[in-house]
Amino acid sequence: MEIYNTLSRKKENFPSPDEQKKIRLFVCGPTVYDDAHVGHARTYLFFDFFASYLRSLGYAVNYLQNITDIDDKIIARAAERNMAPADLAQQFLDSYKDDMRALGVDAVTTYAPATDFISQIAAQVERLIDKGFAYKIDGDGWYFDIAKDEDYGKLSGRTAAQAEDGVSRIDDSDAKRNRGDFCLWKFSKPNEPVWQTSLGPGRPGWHIEDTAISEYYFGPQYDVHGGADDLKFPHHEAELAQQESASGLKPFVRWWMHTGFLLVNGKKMAKSAGNFVTIKEFLRTQPPEVLRWIMLAHHYRSPVDFSEALVAQARAALGNLYERFAILSDGGIADDGPDVEVWRDRFHASLGDDLNTPQALAVVFDLLKTEGLSPSGKRRLILEFDAVLKLGIAAHAADMQDIPPEISEKLKRYEQFRIDKQFVQSDALRKEIESLGYEVRDTAEGSRVAKKAL
């Protein structure tokens, strides 16, 4: 398997299970101040697929995701609602987990809220201070000095002089040594949450929580770090600088993986633009498999332009998939010889090329059309592939095959009309069946009826 590494800017051979059976995967989780949106879903659905696929290949994957539960945005939103920041964060953390369950995202091993790791965060900042990478601004906080890290910018390709466009509110201070320096520990203002540590009363900066949490679970070096492309700079660049400076060990992470941007009708998603779509809003009108299909039908590093037309295309493609699968007869497990391995190899070869999920989906459709395998052989392989894709093929196909007696009786009459060459009557009965939410398919083995897929 080859996977693109953002750090090296090329595909690299990923260890096989024979070389390394344990994979430590860290993915940046959300800042819990609002409901998760479809942009979040793009990233978390992909890494859910990635972890599930690795496990199917024999890897033992420890999938860790942090939760930013203290942040300027959380404090501001809590003040607007007259709530404690911790209560607001818990409300939206619960909401996020509900969304992930609804989407079938179940590959995460551990969710780690930042406020559960204050002592680890403070200890990592202290190490950076001791090694000369951090300095104090009185009345403000402790900052990382990017000029002290000669490798700063190697992930994103930006130099220290280009770092100023990645400054967040918590990092914005006129007293910084360099414009791109970022806050490690922020001294709390009145009426803000505060933790008493050796650093002074305050709260964590955004970037430090991730490395303190990952070091606690994985040590100073691990295998894969994932997240959305917009986190590459400054967030992931800061993480890399912090951890390698604190530990003195390189590389901090062997593979950096980033999912492409999700746009809505060609524009960046924003509430002010009126194109902000939460996961909950999407799931009110669409099955979760539609969103998963959209993400899998695009390569994970490519952008996705989310629109009503794209949703309609996804529904149609899924409906076609479910219908084709539903009409496959299940005659038990057939021995289709080497052809089974040929199709299995094609599927895994697609995913082995930097997780090319669009090509893997094309393999599934080609498999449905081939005449080289028995129907039961096709079923067996497709269900095997869907254990990783998680498109709910078997469940949806079963729903389609749950035919009421009155529909079955109409189908018998329809077939008899066709046998008797009474095509006007058969066409009328076909339309009647379709008006009731079912579709008729004429096959070499006879006519079949199925519930309309989606």
249 touches 260 (CB < 8 A): no
Instruction: Write the burial class of residue 269 (CB in 10 Å: 0-12 exposed, 13-18 middle, 19+ buried).
Output: middle
Per-residue burial over 393-427, b = 16 or more CB atoms within 10 Å of its CB, e = otherwise: bbebbeebeeeeeebeebbeebbebbeeeeeeebe
User: C-alpha dihedral over 179, 137, 207, 164, to 10 degrees?
Assistant: -10
pLDDT of residue 268: 83
Q: How many CB atoms lie within 10 A of CB 448?
A: 17
Residue 384: the pLDDT is 95
Tell me what pLDDT residue 400 has: 61
Q: How many helices (H) and strands (E) does the chain have?
A: 15, 16
Kindly give the pairing relationship between strand 182-187 and strand 202-204: antiparallel
**432: which 2 tokens?**
């009647």
Has this prediction a pTM greater than 0.85?
yes
CATH 1.20.1740.10 fits domain 2-259: no
* DSSP per-residue codes, 380-432: HHHHHHHHHH---HHHHHHHHH---HHHHHHHHHHHHHHHTT-HHHHHHHHHH
| Averaged pLDDT, 131-136 | 98
User: Is 332 a residue whose pLDDT tops 60?
Assistant: no
Lowest mean pLDDT among 36-40, 99-103, 272-276: 272-276
Integer Cα distance of 422 and 442 in angstroms: 15
Mean of pLDDT over the chain: 91
State yes or no: pLDDT of 138 exceeds 80. yes
Give the model confidence (pLDDT) of 428-448 as tens digits. Answer: 999 998 898 887 877 655 777
What is the location of CATH 3.40.50.620 in the chain? 2-259
Q: Cα dihedral sign for 151, 255, 125, 245?
A: negative
The pLDDT > 90 percentage for the chain reads 74
Asked if the bond preceding 375 is cis, omega within 30° of 0, the reply is no
Q: Are 62 and 7 in contact (CB under 8 A)?
A: no
More confident residue, 9 or 332: 9
Tokens encoding 178 = 């360099």
Exposure b/e, 320-352, CB count within 10 A at least 16 = b: ebbbbbbbbeeeeeeebeeebeebeebbbebbb
How do residues 107-125 score in pLDDT, each as one tens digit?
A: 999 999 999 999 999 999 9
What is the arithmetic mean of pLDDT over 266-294? 90
What confidence score (pLDDT) does residue 159 get?
63
- Residue 162's pLDDT is 58
The two tokens of residue 52 are 């599930």
- What tens digit of pLDDT does each residue of 385-405 get? 999 999 999 888 776 667 788
Q: Which residues contact 101 (CB under 8 A, 6 or more apart)?
A: none
Query: How many CA atoms are closer than 13 Å to the CA of 98, on its beta-carbon side?
Result: 13
Q: Which of 14-28, 163-177, 239-253 has the lowest mean pLDDT?
A: 163-177
> Which residues make up the CATH 1.20.120.640 domain(s) of the chain?
309-394
- Answer CATH for 309-394 from 3.10.450.50, 1.20.58.340, 2.70.150.10, 1.20.120.640: 1.20.120.640
> Is residue 54 within 8 Å of residue 61, measured between CB atoms?
yes
- More confident position, 87 or 173: 87
**The one-letter amino acid at 284:** R
CB 108 within 8 A of CB 63: yes
Q: pLDDT digits over 151-166, tens only?
A: 999 999 976 555 555 5
CA distances from 255 to 27, 226, 227 (A): 12, 8, 12
Separation CA 206–CA 186 (nearest Å): 10
Cβ contacts of 439 within 8 Å, gap of 6 or more: 323, 433, 449, 450, 451, 452
Gap between the Cα atoms of 271 and 277, Å rounded: 9
